[in-house]
Amino acid sequence: MELFTANFPCLAEMFSAGAAFPLLSVMAQEAAVEGPSVTDVLLTANNIWMMVAAALVFIMHLGFAGVEAGFTQAKNTVNILFKNTLTPVLGVVTYALIGFALMYPGDFNGFFGFNVDSWNTIWFSPGNADITAGYADGGYTFWTDFFFQAMFAATCATIVSGAVAERIKLSAYLTFTLCFVSFVYPLIGSWKWGGGFLDELGFVDFAGSTLVHSVGGWGALIGIWLLGPRIGKYENGKTSEIAGSSVPLATIGVFLLWLGWFGFNGGSVLSADPGLVSLVLTTTVLGACGGAIGGHFTSMIAMKRIDFGMVLNGVLAGLVGITASADIITPLEALIIGGIAGILVVFSVMLLDKLKLDDCVGAVSVHLTCGIWGTLATGIFGEGASFMPQLYGVLACGAAASIGAFIIFSIIKATIGLRVSPEMEKHGLDSEEHGIRGYTILMED
């Protein structure tokens, strides 16, 4: 120390008895200042994770766009991309206008309610939003809650887009999306996630096998039924394969959806609990793997070919299948549930073709069929879940979603019309509705 102070006299003076005391006093005072509380740290961690998860759910729209554009004809690419761009736009806005307050009404009779306070906060009094540990039992803030839930709402409407592609009027689809996301989806969601009668019955749907995927799947099924098949799909008692525009694009879309599902399921933990989030991510990825395996081997046996499309849809089927129970099943159970979903998606596609229900991308089979299976599987495998409440939930949500979709589509059909003209369908919706084409050179019209 003597050598050190001899070479640095200014420091020697600082460490003298007269100067060192105030310096140490300041240091002691700074050390005495309390750091952030455990509650504040948890609130921050939870919010960061949920916002990241919401961003992952948002990027799923790019995945849907890729899958739908890749599995449909090149002459309709711009139309597909336009719908998939407008869907999240309309979904978020309508959810802010009415859906959020309808889905989380607070105290209500279990069937219908509207939270005037949250609606007023969003549109007129953002300063009233609770951004402290007092909101959601200290889990996250009001705005994080809205942002995350809005991403889910927009996803539900996108499911319909691919099924009804290549022959629905753009105005008809956008009108349906506005109505479905504004009223049907949030009303059904309130029955479980808003504390409604299904929640009281013990119905379990962790991240939405029924409340998101099956609800969207019912809308898609009603849509393709009322629209009818594409020209040339079913002729002379045979089913014709209508080739998509880009298998690579569809593959990229599936992987983007797979990535987004980590936010879809992982964010539904509604906290950054490392043990539970990591379990959910594990069951999610294993469900997807099981679906791919099931889709691959089932298509080989049933279709007598190695069908890559069924592998891709098998991945999505497995993801939908474990979404209801990802937090209460083991990794092995996730693989089994996903594998069975992969099997079901193949037979569901074949059945729809026999019934002459033309689903361009397999949306009904992936989201409705496997959403139902995943919800029922929760009652079979899920810890603490029972089968009968799961069945009641499937029936109640299915009835509400299909009736709601039928009413909306029927009104649209009777007014502005659902389907484009045969000439427009033949030439392609890109040229007829948008005036541009997604690809400069079309391989096939």
Q: pLDDT per residue over 54-110, tens digit each?
A: 999 999 999 999 999 999 999 999 999 999 999 999 999 999 999 999 999 988 888
Bridge partner list, 234: 239
The band of 197, judged by pLDDT with boundaries at 50, 70 and 90, is very high
Q: How many C-alpha atoms does 407 have within 13 Å on its Cβ side?
A: 9
Name which of 148-162, 205-219, 409-423 the model is least confident about: 148-162
Residue 393 to residues 176, 207, 323, 396: CA-CA distances in angstroms? 24, 14, 15, 5
CATH number of 41-434, picked from 1.10.3430.10, 2.30.40.10, 1.20.140.10, 3.20.20.10: 1.10.3430.10
What mean pLDDT is predicted for residues 379-397?
Answer: 97
Mean pLDDT along residues 5-20: 44
Q: Place 191 in a pLDDT band, splitting at 50, 70 and 90.
A: very high
What's the pLDDT at 36?
A: 78
pLDDT value at 21 more than 50: no
In the predicted model, is pLDDT for residue 5 greater than 60? no
Answer whether 123's CB lies under 8 Å from 100's CB: no
426-437 average pLDDT score: 89
Is residue 394 within 8 A of residue 208, CB to CB? The reply is: no
- CA-CA distance, 296 to 333, in Å (whole number)? 19
The confidence score (pLDDT) of residue 439 equals 86
Distant-in-sequence, close-in-space partners of 183: CB < 8 Å, separation ≥ 6: 98, 102, 404
Average of per-residue pLDDT across 313-329: 98
Residue closest to 246 by CA, chosen among 444, 24, 3: 444
> What b/e sequence results for 364-400 when a residue is b if at least 16 CB atoms lie within 10 Å of its CB, and e otherwise?
bbbbbbbbbbbbbbbbebbeebeeebbeebbebbbeb
Q: Give me the pLDDT at residue 18, please.
A: 44
Q: How many DSSP H helices and E strands does the chain contain?
A: 21, 2
pLDDT at 3: 40
**Is the pLDDT score of 222 beyond 50?**
yes
pLDDT on residue 435: 86
Predicted confidence at residue 170, as pLDDT, reads: 95
Distance CA 335, CA 293 (A): 10
pLDDT in tens, 131-189: 776 677 778 899 999 999 999 988 887 899 999 999 999 999 999 999 999 999 999 99
155/323 Cα distance (integer angstroms): 14
Query: How is residue 249 written in tokens?
Result: 């694009």
Q: For residues 45-50, give the mean pLDDT.
A: 94
Tell me, what's the pLDDT at 445?
A: 45
Picking from 408, 89, 356, the residue whose alpha carbon sits closest to that of residue 239 is 356
pTM of the shown model: 0.89
Q: What are phi and psi of 418, to 5 degrees?
A: -95, -40
What mean pLDDT comes out for the span 397-423? 97
Alpha-carbon span 129 to 100, nearest angstrom:
14
Give rounded-to-5 percent helix, strand, coil for the chain.
Answer: 75, 0, 25
Which helix (H) or strand (E) segment holds residue 424: the answer is helix 422-427
Please state the rounded mean pLDDT for residues 21-42.
Answer: 59
